[in-house]
Amino acid sequence: MTATLTLLGTGHPGCLPDTYQTAFALVAGDTPIVIDCGGGTVQRLATARANGQPKLMYKNLTTLILTHLHPDHTAGLADFIISTWINGRKEPLKIYGPKGTQRMTELLIEAYELGIAEHWETLSPTTYPLKYVVIEYSDGLIFENDDISITAFRVSHGRMETYGLDCQMADKKLVFSADTMPVDSLMEHGKDCDILVHEAYSVEGLRTATRFSPAEYFERMHTSTVELAAIATELKPKRLILNHQMHLAPMSDAAFMKEITDHYDGEVIFGRDLDVFEV
C-alpha cells in the first residue's frame, strides 16, 4: 500500500506571497488525514484535488489533527469545518487537538452562528446538519485504522502545548516534528523513519536580522538549520523534508538549504506548497 503526503502549506506567521500557512494531507488507504489547518487550507485542498488527488474530496475530509493551537496552524479551522460541511461532508468532522481545542472550536462555531444558520435553515441546499466532535489528546496513540496508526509525542515549543506525530503504516513510518526546539522525544520517535518532516530557521538569518531580538525566542521555540543537520545525521531518515522554513532575513532558498547540506549528507528536500510525495 502506498501512502501519499501532500504539503498543503509550508508557511509560518511571516506571511509569504506564494506560501500558505502550515497544513498537510496524508492519505493512507482511502482515508485522508489533514494535519494542521493554517489559513487557506481549504483552498490548498481544492488545488490538490484539481492536481489529481480525488481522495481529498470534501465528503472524505472527516479527520483533522492539530499539532498545536498557534494561529499559523489553526487560522483555517472555521473555514475547514464550514466549507467541508456545505460542500458535502455529512459525517462528523473529528478534530484532534491539544487541550484548548474544544473551546477554540466552540468559539468559532459561535462566532459564525449567523452564517451557519443561514446555510442550514433557510433556502440553502444544505439539507444535513453541521456535525463535529473534538478529541483533546496528549501523549500516546491518538488515531488508528487498518492503514495507519498515529502516536502523538510532546515536543518543546515555548509555553504552547505542542505534539509531534509518529505515523506508522504497514511498512513505512513518517514523522512530523511540528514546531519545536530540539527535543529528546523527537530523537526517540524519529528513529528508522522513511520521511521526517521538520521545521527549521536559518542561523544566518537570525544572526543578521535585527527585528528578531532576542535570538533566544527562536532558540527556545524552534530548530536551527545547523541543529536540524545534527538531528538528521543521528536519525538518518530516508528523506528529510523541510517545512515551516523561517529565513528571518532576505536570502535564497539555496542558501537556506546550504546551511543544512554543509553539515548533513542525506537527502534533503526543500518542501514547497502542493508538493506530493509517495511515502
Q: Is 72 in the site for Zn ion (CB under 5 A)?
A: yes
Report the nearest approach of Zn ion to the CB of residue 16 (Å). 13
Q: Is 70 in the site for Zn ion (CB under 5 A)?
A: yes
Q: Which stretch binds Zn ion (CB under 5 A): 28-36, 64-72, 96-104, 138-146?
A: 64-72
Report the nearest approach of Zn ion to the CB of residue 228 (Å). 15
Closest to Zn ion by CB, 53 or 97: 97
Q: Which stretch binds Zn ion (CB under 5 A): 12-20, 50-58, 76-84, 115-123?
A: 12-20
Number of chain residues interacting with Zn ion (CB under 5 A): 4
The site string for Zn ion over 210-249 (x = CB under 5 A, - otherwise) reads ----------------------------------------
Closest to Zn ion by CB, 13 or 88: 13
- Residues 6 or more apart from 16 whose CB is under 8 A from it? none
Distance CA 101, CA 96 (A): 8
Q: Is 44 in the site for Zn ion (CB under 5 A)?
A: no
E strands, the chain, where? 4-9, 23-28, 31-35, 63-65, 93-97, 132-136, 140-144, 148-154, 163-169, 173-176, 195-201, 239-246, 268-270, 276-278
For strands 140-144 and 132-136, give the pairing.
unpaired
**DSSP type of residue 177:** -
Report the nearest approach of Zn ion to the CB of residue 147 (Å). 28
**Residue 215, strand partner residues:** none
At 59, the amino acid letter reads K
Q: Which stretch binds Zn ion (CB under 5 A): 4-12, 26-34, 118-126, 136-144?
A: 4-12
Distance CA 54, CA 52 (A): 6
Tell me if residue 259 falls in helix, strand or coil: helix
Report the nearest approach of Zn ion to the CB of residue 54 (Å). 29
Q: Which stretch binds Zn ion (CB under 5 A): 66-74, 82-90, 148-156, 211-219?
A: 66-74
The site string for Zn ion over 162-201 (x = CB under 5 A, - otherwise) reads -----------------x----------------------
Distance CA 17, CA 244 (A): 14
Q: Which stretch binds Zn ion (CB under 5 A): 5-13, 43-51, 54-62, 205-213?
A: 5-13
Closest to Zn ion by CB, 128 or 217: 217
Distance CA 112, CA 129 (A): 15
- Residues 6 or more apart from 209 whose CB is under 8 A from it? 248, 249
For the beta carbon of residue 57, count every other beta carbon within 10 angstroms. 15
Binding site for Zn ion (CB under 5 A): 12, 70, 72, 179
